[in-house]
Structure 1
């Protein structure tokens, strides 16, 4: 029974290693998660669905759950009432925008291709996903049309920059497409990305893109920066620290922290790095990507303002349980 629970915990966490929620090998009872004073003194963190509903919450009548970022997956996240949804933005070889994470592309191609920039739009659109229906990759416009103007508190646009063009023109392409969607779904009058999607927050693993978004929107857009240390390349790029990144850390709406790095100390450092005249107040801290109960408790007890997750219902349940145990 213990082994089964551990396997289930591994599956729920998306295959990533996480502390087991099991009390001991002699019992299948989960650990009693206790809230911290920090958590109890703060409002509940926003739970951001990473392009879909949880693996156990996809309607069985609709067959196998499609990959995140597809139209049915995003529509299900909106219909489930999640206040925040993330959409991944990538560019094809022929410079079209698609809603696709490199991880999903690798799965779709049997491991052959992991960079959307290596395939044309037509090649990507020819890929189908397993399920009761033939789900396909969504264009960025199709994905955003599902979530914009649906009453969400936040739509996170996560830039997946890669070769051949990497950051070059990426921010411009995305903000231009969002502005175009605003015109087509609104009055037809000219709109900026910020008026078309005031709930949009733009982040990625490139400070340059965040700064480009700020420049293109005259500082009006909400941007984020990443704090991570999961690879040598990320560390070499300096994303594991805030020092030397003042251009973005002083003006950002949010810091997106790798969950293992989320701590009260980091949250305080992020807030302290914000400029006094920052348009959106003190910079918030979100943790990503959190898919298991123990990991959820760890980051929310540290005091994060948001949690990005592939399992939004599971995370929301943990938050509710912890809140109910606050004195």
Structure 2
């Protein structure tokens, strides 16, 4: 089990779902937890300050240490203040878990500018904003001579990394951006003793996935439910532990399975020196390369959940039913 005793962890989007499970788990292994959540709906509307406080009460009832924060990760000043909140309450900030997200799923031709911007603002800009203010604080501490392990754990999703899910232009783009930021920030911040990794959960039961067919099926209480958000928490706690050597990694987690992702990798290539390609030459040369159909990629990622008939149904859905959404 991870040992986070004495380490202060700021977790965004920690009022429900995966973030709540991470907050409870980290507190149980000794962390001081800043539970950040403005209590918005799945599309980012509304707000409820009691959501974060409820999780804090749960942690304290179990003997843990926590404080609520209701700032929005989309607000530059709120991101700064939540970092300061952690320092004021607990004396330092050792780690950030960027978990906040919203979703608005629509076909490309129906998605509005505002709906695109809102999802990217929470998921991608929010991850950047909180990480930026944490890094600025750690830079000051480093310049003051403080040397200690610090960590950022970002949260992506199979959508944008492994599963080209229709209707998720905004969400997929933001997740891909988070994976890219993870590797860049891991290199940038190593000089300050900061490790940066990313977890990419899939098939986890949250408000965002409750409408997915089969997600409502549960197992008997004596068996671990692979769809329970708690399945993500041990991996996050491990990545926050100062004994963890990992940095720059994007890790998929699905139930009890954890996989290392390698991102975009170069495949086969065609070459021509000294002259421009002609279009007929390109047409001929591309027949020698192996290219991937995005539908095949999606069907493979969904795996056994589809079955033989499921693959046909998925294709019918993409070609027909999506036109209604």
Q: TM-score, normalised by structure 2?
A: 0.33
Q: TM-score, normalised by structure 1?
A: 0.33
Structure with higher helix content: 2
Structure with higher strand content: 1
